Amino acid sequence: MKRAMVFVGTLIFGVSTVAIGAEKFDIGKREYDASCASCHGRDGKGHGSFAELLQGVSMPDLTTLSKRNGGVFPIARVYNVIDGREEVKAHGTREMPIWGNHLMLRAAPEYDDYPYESEAFVRARILAVIDYLYRLQAK
């Protein structure tokens, strides 16, 4: 009986650790929470704590990107807006930070003894945020 209880306790601890670990490695959510949620809100609906400070700027509801694009998630447009290093005339004025530059600074290697592709780091982070935004879309 005691062995069975230890086994069940270990199993429950293991399952809860896996569940916690799975959430821990959601890079897109972590990047969104760190870089986007202050303006766009943790739920993506545009009610972040900084949104009210940006007078004259309306925060878009990021959970309706697909809906506003005929049911198709606009991956390329979202990528370009987040990256921001290339001016996209169709977007009008640049009101949001240029996250591509910010991510490029974070991508600098600490050691120079191995080849490192910092642009791949930037792309991976932006694509992770895009994946998270896709998962936020209202169905």
Question: What pLDDT, in 10s, does the model give residues 65-86?
Answer: 999 999 999 999 999 888 887 6
Range of the domain at 105: 27-136
pLDDT (tens digit per residue) in 95-135? 666 677 767 766 666 666 666 678 888 889 999 999 999 99
pLDDT value at residue 122? 85
Whether residue 20 is contained in a domain is answered as no
Structural domain contains residue 100: yes
Q: In this structure, is residue 65 part of a structural domain?
A: yes
Contact 66, 133 (CB under 8 A): no
CB proximity list for 85: less than 8 A, separation 6 or greater = 98, 100, 101
* Mean pLDDT for all residues in the chain: 78
Inform me whether the pLDDT recorded for 36 exceeds 50.
yes
pLDDT at 24: 67
Q: Is residue 46 part of a domain?
A: yes
- pTM attached to this predicted model: 0.68
Tokens 């606009």 belong to: 74
Q: Is residue 101 part of a domain?
A: yes
Q: Give the residue carrying structure tokens 């198709």.
A: 72
CA dist 66 and 77 (Å) reads 11
Return d(Cα 127, Cα 133) in angstroms, integer.
10
In the block, residue with structure tokens 């809860």: 16
Separation CA 83–CA 98 (nearest Å)? 6
Q: Which pLDDT belongs to residue 91?
A: 46
Query: Is the Cα torsion angle 80, 84, 90, 94 positive or negative in sign?
Result: positive
Residue-level pLDDT at 12: 61
CA 80 to chain centroid, in Å, comes to: 14
In a domain, 3, yes or no: no
Query: Do the domain assignments include residue 13?
Result: no
Residue 17 lies in a domain: no
Say how many domains are in the chain: 1
